[in-house]
């Protein structure tokens, strides 16, 4: 007997599209065959006419973590995994922050231990893994190189963590080229994937000061302070660092045409350079950051803001804090000007981008007690200027439905196999969890599957699917989505995690939540 059989679906992997039945037993794919007898199944789903894909892997998800590096964001691991499965994602990779109070060979293992312990107390709807965020090298010397190597070795042996992220920007997190080299050196000897947030932090600091001195303070100027070329410069510099050490590198949340060109050229030279982009860079232009924004309005002072009603008056020109709506779209790198979006689709189709992640980083828009919010930019006498707006957008739920609709259905993504490649299979290969995750292979893959609604079905047996994105559909804790009102042509009908249905036709099935921590192997793309 099988626990579950999915009949008549169109199985779509990164390499194939064919009709067959799938039998699931003990949480894994047991067999795939043209016809699996119904009487062999405890439960059957008829997926006639529907795509059956591997569950999505979202390899870039920020959630609340013990050290609160990003402040107290809206989603816990519990609500983030709940939102993930509602959008067809069955594995998320989040971040454990380096705890700089810990030192010595086990310092980084302890940072991860705290995070894993915190999430073990939560109900998880799908599996999760962790990258490490590293922002300080304990000793900047030859001895420091050796120590970091040992720390990473321990992180791998203790927790199966095989990737780390470094920043070339953000005050407090920005690493020097020296420290990035040390990190890449340790990554190389341990077969780790080095993920880089590439923006030139020094230029950004200068630009922010300059814009502020000219009174250019609203959300839109966040993007002006981080032009495409400065992402390109940092990308180029990081490639020089990684090629000096002949070690692979992965650029996360790539948004600028300059960076795309630089990455593509490096790939053409045979360098092992990988890249991630995100739906927001393909679907939004910086016009959204001008939302209700008008330079003619007086610049709002903190004391004049009533955070309850979000309106205020001051001087002879009354001013509404709704002019702050552009803050919902503030992220780094920023949403780019009109015209850049096509280059994101081109990069997905031609292979410059290896994966698509959401960079889910859910700050509330409105204020919440003790939680970080976009309106935090008005706290403590601050005045809402763009430099104080937390950077990040929610997106773990909307990633796949958006890419299905605006990528596959609208012809911006070459086919469904590409959709599976960048959203499911490549993230698994890149981050060392293939073929357990990201594929549908009998005997080796977890039964992490998504059954989509049959396209254009008029059959009455299917309940209606969402056609427009509304925040309340997303099952996350955040109070907005940057994609509110976006039409979608498809949505997951069933999300299955390790053989159990966790999302069925719009409803979360909490009793089937069995998500757990996922230790990973070394990357099959990035380790030598």
Ligand X SMILES: NC(=O)NCCC(=O)O
Tokens coding 117? 């312990």
Considering beta carbons, is residue 68 or 295 the nearer one to ligand X?
A: 68
Q: How far is the CB of 330 from ligand X (least distance, A)?
A: 7
Q: How far is the CB of 197 from Zn ion (least distance, A)?
A: 3
Q: How far is the CB of 391 from Zn ion (least distance, A)?
A: 8
Q: Is 392 in the site for ligand X (CB under 6 A)?
A: yes
Q: How far is the CB of 253 from ligand X (least distance, A)?
A: 6
Query: What backbone torsions phi and psi does residue 260 show, to the nearest 5 degrees?
Result: -60, -45
Q: How far is the CB of 69 from ligand X (least distance, A)?
A: 9
Q: Is 222 in the site for ligand X (CB under 6 A)?
A: no
Q: Is 391 in the site for ligand X (CB under 6 A)?
A: yes
Where does residue 372 rank: exposed (0-12), middle (13-18), buried (19+ CB within 10 A)?
Answer: buried
Judged by CB under 5 A, the number of residues near Zn ion is 1
* Chain position carrying tokens 């499965």: 85
> Which residues from 351-390 bind ligand X, rule CB under 6 A?
359, 361
Q: Is 226 in the site for Zn ion (CB under 5 A)?
A: no
Considering beta carbons, is residue 331 or 440 the nearer one to ligand X?
A: 331
Residues β-bridged to residue 28: 25, 446
**For the CA atoms of the chain, what is the radius of gyration?**
23
CA-nearest of 273, 373, 275 to 330 is: 373
Tell me the residue ranges of DSSP E strands in 190-320.
193-197, 249-251, 273-277, 311-312, 319-320
H/E stretch holding 402: helix 399-402
Q: Is 197 in the site for ligand X (CB under 6 A)?
A: yes
> Which residues from 113-142 bind Zn ion, rule CB under 5 A?
none
Which of the choices Zn ion, ligand X, none does residue 250 contact, using the CB cut-off of 5 to 8 A by kind? Answer: none
Residues 6 or more apart from 382 whose CB is under 8 A from it?
302, 388
Q: Give, as one character, the DSSP assignment of residue 68.
A: -
CA-nearest of 405, 340, 329 to 365 is: 329
Which of the choices ligand X, Zn ion, none does residue 361 contact, using the CB cut-off of 5 to 8 A by kind? Answer: ligand X
Considering beta carbons, is residue 231 or 475 the nearer one to Zn ion?
A: 231
3-state SS record for 107-128 = HHHHHHHHHHHHHHCCCCCCEE
Which of the choices Zn ion, ligand X, none does residue 180 contact, using the CB cut-off of 5 to 8 A by kind? Answer: none
> Which residues from 186-205 bind Zn ion, rule CB under 5 A?
197
Which of the choices ligand X, Zn ion, none does residue 84 contact, using the CB cut-off of 5 to 8 A by kind? Answer: none
| DSSP sequence for 147-184 | HHHHHHHHHHHHH---EEEEESSSTTTBPPHHHHHHHH
Give the binding site for Zn ion (CB under 5 A): 197
Give the binding site for ligand X (CB under 6 A): 62, 197, 253, 331-332, 359, 361, 391-392
């Amino acid at each position: 007997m099988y626990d579950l059989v999915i009949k008549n679906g169109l199985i779509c992997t990164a390499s194939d599209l064919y009709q067959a039945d799938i039998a699931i037993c003990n949480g894994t794919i047991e067999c795939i065959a043209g016809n699996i007898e119904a009487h062999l199944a405890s439960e059957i789903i008829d997926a006639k006419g529907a795509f059956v894909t591997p569950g999505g892997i979202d390899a870039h998800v920020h959630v609340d973590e013990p050290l609160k590096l990003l402040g107290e964001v809206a989603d816990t691991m519990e609500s983030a995994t709940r939102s993930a499965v509602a959008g067809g994602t069955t594995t998320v990779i989040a971040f454990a922050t380096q705890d700089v109070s810990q030192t010595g060979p086990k310092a980084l293992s302890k940072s991860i231990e705290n995070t894993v312990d915190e999430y073990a107390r939560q109900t998880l709807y799908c599996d999760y893994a962790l990258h490490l965020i590293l922002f300080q090298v304990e000793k900047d010397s030859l001895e420091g190189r050796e120590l970091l190597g040992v720390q990473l070795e321990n992180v791998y042996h203790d927790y199966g963590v095989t990737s780390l992220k470094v920043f070339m920007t953000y005050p407090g997190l920005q690493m020097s080229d020296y420290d990035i080299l040390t990190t890449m050196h340790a990554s190389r000897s341990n077969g780790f994937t080095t993920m880089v947030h590439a923006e030139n932090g020094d230029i950004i600091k200068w630009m922010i000061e300059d814009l502020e001195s000219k009174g250019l303070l609203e959300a839109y100027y966040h993007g002006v302070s981080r032009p495409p070329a400065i992402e390109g410069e940092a990308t180029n510099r990081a490639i020089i660092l990684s090629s000096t050490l002949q070690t692979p590198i992965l650029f996360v949340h790539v948004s600028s045409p300059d960076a795309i060109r630089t990455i593509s050229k490096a790939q053409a030279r045979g360098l092992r350079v990988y890249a991630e982009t995100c739906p927001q860079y393909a679907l939004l232009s910086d016009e959204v950051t001008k939302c209700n924004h008008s330079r003619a309005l007086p610049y709002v002072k903190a004391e004049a803001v009533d955070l309850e009603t979000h309106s205020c008056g001051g001087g002879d020109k009354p001013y509404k804090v709704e002019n702050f709506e552009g803050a919902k779209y503030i992220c780094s790198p920023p949403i780019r000007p009109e015209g850049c979006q096509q280059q994101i689709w081109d990069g997905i189709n031609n292979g410059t981008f290896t994966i698509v992640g959401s960079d889910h980083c859910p700050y509330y828009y409105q204020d919440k007690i003790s939680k970080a919010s976009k309106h935090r930019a008005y706290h403590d006498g601050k005045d809402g200027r763009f430099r104080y707006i937390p950077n990040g957008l929610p997106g773990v739920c909307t990633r796949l439905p958006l890419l299905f609709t605006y990528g596959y259905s609208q012809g911006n993504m070459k086919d469904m196999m590409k959709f599976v490649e960048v959203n499911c299979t490549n993230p698994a290969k890149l981050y060392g969890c293939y073929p357990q995750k990201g594929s549908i292979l009998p005997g080796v893959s977890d039964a992490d599957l998504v059954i989509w609604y049959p396209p254009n079905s008029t059959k009455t047996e299917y309940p209606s699917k969402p056609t427009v994105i509304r925040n309340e559909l997303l099952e996350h804790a955040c109070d907005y989505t940057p994609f509110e009102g976006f039409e979608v042509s498809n949505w997951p009908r069933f999300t299955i995690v390790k053989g159990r249905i966790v999302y069925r036709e719009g409803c979360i099935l909490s009793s089937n939540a069995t998500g757990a921590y996922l230790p990973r192997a070394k990357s099959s793309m990035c380790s030598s």
